[in-house]
Structure 1
Amino acid sequence: MRQNPSFAMTDVAELRRTIDENPWATLVSSTPDGLVASHYAVLLDEDRDDLTIVGHVGRPDDVVHGLGERELLVVFAGPHGYISPSWYGDAPAVPTWNFVAVHLAGVPEILDTEENLRVLDRLVDRLESQTPDPRPMLAHPNDEEFVRRLERGTVGFRLTPDRVSAKRKLSQNRPDEVVDTIMDRLETGTTPYADPRLAAEMRRAHSAMRAARGGAR
C-alpha cells in the first residue's frame, strides 16, 4: 500500500481498534500458481497486546495458501466511502474516496486442534454478542461431536506480523470548514453516499488533530 506521511496510521492502539471493529478480512498469498485471496473473520489474539491475530481457513484453503509455509498478507478495511467534490464548496475539486485500511504480513503458525477450537468458540462469542439472543458455539442444538466435526474442516492460525502498513485517509489535507461540511454530509446527507460510520471515523481523527494544535470541535 503506497504510503503518504499525512495519512500514515502508526498508533498501535488505533490499529488494534480498527482490526477489532472490522474483523472481516482479506487473506492474500503469492503461490506458484499466482496470487490467491480468501475472506474470513479474524480476531486479535486476546493473550497479546500487540498486532498478533488469530483466525482460521476452511480446508482446502490452507493448501491453496500454503498456510504456515509462505507469507500471508491480511487486509482489514475500516469505514470507507465516496466524497463528492460538491462538498468542497465553490472551488476546483475532483472526487475522492476516504478510507481506513490496515495490512499485516508474516508467516503464520498453525494452531493445534484444541487451540483452534478455542479460537472458533471465541469468534462465535464475539460476533454473537452483537445479536439480541446470542447463541454460543456449543449451545443446543449443537453438541461437542458436531462442533469437533466442523473443526476438522478448518485450519487455525496465529500471525504475528513482521510487516505492518496502515493508512487513514480522511480529508486531513482539507481546511477545517471543508472537513466539517464533509462530515455533516456523511452524517445527514440524503445521497447514497451518506455513511455515519465514516463520519464518526473522521470526527475521531480530526478531533485528535485539532486538539493537538489547540483547535476547536
Structure 2
Amino acid sequence: MYIPKSFREDDLSVLHPLMQTYSFATLVTQHDGAPYATHLPLTLCPEEGPYGTLIGHMARANPQWRDFDGEREVLAIFQGPHTYVSPSWYTVQPSVPTWNYAAVHAYGVPRIIEDEAELYEALQLLVQTYEEPREQPWKLNGPDDFLCKMMKAIVGFSMPISRLEGKYKLSQNRSPEDQEQVVQQLVVQGEPLDTAVAELMQQRLPNNLEAAGRID
C-alpha cells in the first residue's frame, strides 16, 4: 500500500482496535494467476504472535482456501471509516477535493484448521465476539448432527500476521486551521462515517501539527 510518511501508522494499540471494530475484511490471494478476493469476518487474537493472529472460515465450495499452501503470503484488508472532503472547507485556496480514510493491511501465511475441535473453538470465538453485546446472546451449542454437517461445509483457517501496514489519511498535510475546519464540517454533516472520521481526526490532531503544511 502506498503510504506517505505523514499518513503512516505503526502503533498496534491503534491498528488492532480498527481491525476489531471493522472486522468484516477482504481477503486477497493469487488464484490461478489472477487476484481473488473474499469478503468475510476475521477475528483478531491480538496476543498471539508479535502482530496478532487472524481466525476465519469460508465456504468449502469457495476455491480460495486452496490457495493456502503454507508458503504464499495473503493479504487481509480492513477498511475503516472514510468520507469525502470538499475543497470549499479549506482556508488555503486553490485546493482540490480528496478523501479521508483509515485502513489496515495485514499480511500472513494462512494455516488450514484440520482439527474439528479447533474449528469448533474458532466458531465459538466468532459467535461470542458478535453475540456478547446483545441482551440475550445466542449460543453455539456443542457439536450435534446439524452443526457437524454445517462444519463440514466450511474451511477454517488461522493466519499469524507477519506484518501490518496502517494508513490514516486524515488531512495531516493541511494546516491546523484546515484540519479543524474539516472536523467541524464533518460533524455538521452528521453522517455516521463523517462522524467517525471526525473523531479520528480529533484524536490525532495534536500529533498532526508537526506535519501540517507538508506533503510527502
Counterpart for residue 127 of structure 2? 124
Counterpart for residue 114 of structure 1? 117
Structure 2 CA distance for partners of 1:132 and 1:207, relative to 1, 3 Å: farther
Query: Quick one: distance in 2 between partners of 1:131 and 1:87?
Result: 40
Query: Quick one: distance in 2 between partners of 1:98 and 1:45?
Result: 28
Q: Report how far residue 208 of structure 1 moved.
A: 4.5
TM-score (norm 1): 0.85
Contact 2:27–2:77 under 8 Å retained in 1: yes
Listed as ranges, the gaps of 5+ residues in structure 2 are 211-216
SS of equivalent residue, structure 1 residue 75:
strand
Q: Report how far residue 62 of structure 1 moved.
A: 5.0
SS of equivalent residue, structure 2 residue 7:
coil
Structure 2 CA distance for partners of 1:207 and 1:58, relative to 1, 3 Å: farther
Counterpart for residue 213 of structure 2? none
Q: Report how far residue 171 of structure 1 moved.
A: 0.7
Counterpart for residue 68 of structure 2? 67
SS of equivalent residue, structure 1 residue 203:
helix
Structure scoring higher RCO (CA < 8 A, sep ≥ 6) equals 2
TM-score (norm 2): 0.85
Q: Report how far residue 137 of structure 1 moved.
A: 2.4
SS of equivalent residue, structure 2 residue 77:
strand
CA-based RMSD of the aligned residues comes to 2.4
Matched AA of 1:128: E
Deviation by residue 1:72-103 (Cα, 9 ceiling, x = unmatched): 11100111111111111362111111111111
Range 42-51 or range 110-119, more displaced:
42-51
Counterpart for residue 214 of structure 1? none
Q: Percent identity?
A: 32
Counterpart for residue 15 of structure 2? 15
Structure 2 CA distance for partners of 1:145 and 1:117, relative to 1, 3 Å: same
Contact 1:98–1:170 under 8 Å retained in 2: yes
Counterpart for residue 196 of structure 1? 195
**Matched positions, count:** 207
Query: Quick one: distance in 1 between partners of 2:143 and 2:157?
Result: 24
Q: Report how far residue 143 of structure 1 moved.
A: 6.8
Structure 2 CA distance for partners of 1:207 and 1:121, relative to 1, 3 Å: farther
Contact 1:55–1:158 under 8 Å retained in 2: yes
Q: Report how far residue 163 of structure 1 moved.
A: 3.4
- Aligned pairs for 1:31-46 within 5 A: 31-45=31-45
Counterpart for residue 89 of structure 1? 91
Structure 2 CA distance for partners of 1:45 and 1:80, relative to 1, 3 Å: same
Structure 2 CA distance for partners of 1:10 and 1:92, relative to 1, 3 Å: same
SS of equivalent residue, structure 2 residue 52:
coil
SS of equivalent residue, structure 1 residue 20:
helix
Deviation by residue 1:135-160 (Cα, 9 ceiling, x = unmatched): 1223xxx9733222222211111112
Listed as ranges, the gaps of 5+ residues in structure 1 are 212-217
SS of equivalent residue, structure 1 residue 78:
strand
